[in-house]
Amino acid sequence: QMRVAAGAGRPAELPALPHAPSLAHSAARGWRGASGLPVNVGMLFVPPQQETWVVERMGHFHCILEPGLNFLIPLLDRIRYVQSLKEIVINVPEQSAITLADNITLQIDGVLYLRVVDPYNVPSLPVMGWEDPEYTMTQLAQTTMRSELGKLSLDRVFRECESLNASIVDAINQASDCWGIRCLRYEIKDIHVPPRVKESMQMQVEAERRKRATVLESEGTWESAINVAKGQKQAQACVERSPPGVSPRSREANAMLVKARAKAEAIELLAAALATAACLSMAEQYVSAFSELAKDSITFLLPASNGNVTSMVAQ
């Protein structure tokens, strides 16, 4: 089964490249696949997953073999390129950039993530003058990053890393759409500032921390003063609610007198209760003693009033 890639808006032929060794060198780095170039012996070809084979017939582009069963004509068809469709990671070297508002020189590097989306156009890059797609994309990422950093100040560079990465990805994709390569994402890895700028930033951070500590301390003092004022206001309100012409010492003496009277009344009530309880106890013992005397046969002569329990307890 052949899958011909030539369609509307594409040339019917792909010129043969005169420098095949350079392509093999690119393949060793992952741009042309790591499995090498298979030889056409007239058998069914099954490319592995995440890999496509570009086939030429008599020196011109013929078709692109994708995973599945494919049949080629011996001697006429030749597998010229093996293109990997896996995600490619490229380390962008460190470079210098100058911020717009601060005129500060930064040293910045990053990581670029790419993927081949059109295997037809990638082999034609050397024909258009691009010998090394990896180097081309790296240079494009560096120039775009330098251009985007020139639009920002130093503070915005640290705050807007995500938007900076997105801007670099958009700029790279606009330039590489016709190449068959798509930038998936770009990540800034390290940002190095000059030592003096780093010291100034550290001093700024320390000053900001001292400022926050001073503000917190002043807020605590402010709340404490408010609480003290509220307490004094409530005390003054209590004084104003007291009868006129009465001094604080008089109010204190009156309070002590009321407390003493209440305590005396409590003692009197307690004494009365104890006396009543004592009378009841004595009456109970008196009746019990008479009952014990009645059990014996001895005769006692008692006053007539002793038969009255109430008068006996009163005596």
| Alpha carbons 303 and 315: distance in angstroms, whole number | 13
| Alpha carbons 59 and 123: distance in angstroms, whole number | 13
**% of the chain surpassing 70 pLDDT:** 67
Greatest Cα pair distance in the chain: 160
Tell me the CA distances in angstroms from 6 to 125, 166, 197, one per residue in order: 16, 32, 55
Tell me the CA distances in angstroms from 292 to 27, 248, 296, 309, one per residue in order: 130, 66, 8, 16
CB 281 within 8 A of CB 255: no
Residue 17's pLDDT band (cuts 50, 70, 90): very low
Instruction: Return the percent helix, strand and coil in the chain, to nearest 5.
Output: 50, 20, 30
Q: Would residue 42 be called left, alpha or beta, if left means φ above 0 and alpha means ψ between -120 and 50 degrees?
A: left
Over residues 146-162, mean pLDDT: 81
| Alpha carbons 149 and 269: distance in angstroms, whole number | 94
| Alpha carbons 30 and 27: distance in angstroms, whole number | 5
3-state secondary structure of 57: strand
Residues near 283 by Cβ (< 8 Å), separated by ≥ 6? 309, 310, 313
Residues in the chain, total = 315
Residue 297's pLDDT band (cuts 50, 70, 90): low
Over residues 137-163, mean pLDDT: 82
Walk across the sheet containing 51-57 and list its strands: 60-65, 51-57, 77-84
Query: Phi then psi for 144, rounded to 5 degrees?
Result: -65, -40
The identity of residue 244, as a single letter, is P
102 C-beta neighbours (distance < 10 Å), count: 15
Number of H helices, E strands in the chain: 7, 8
- pLDDT at 298 exceeding the cut of 70: no
- pLDDT at 91 exceeding the cut of 70: yes
- pLDDT at 137 exceeding the cut of 50: yes
Assigned token pair, 270: 């307690």
Burial (CB count within 10 angstroms: exposed 0-12, middle 13-18, buried 19+), residue 95? middle
Mean pLDDT score of the chain, rounded to an integer? 71
| Alpha carbons 104 and 153: distance in angstroms, whole number | 9
- pLDDT at 171 exceeding the cut of 60: yes
Q: Would residue 58 be called left, alpha or beta, if left means φ above 0 and alpha means ψ between -120 and 50 degrees?
A: left
290 C-beta neighbours (distance < 10 Å), count: 13
Residue 303's pLDDT band (cuts 50, 70, 90): low
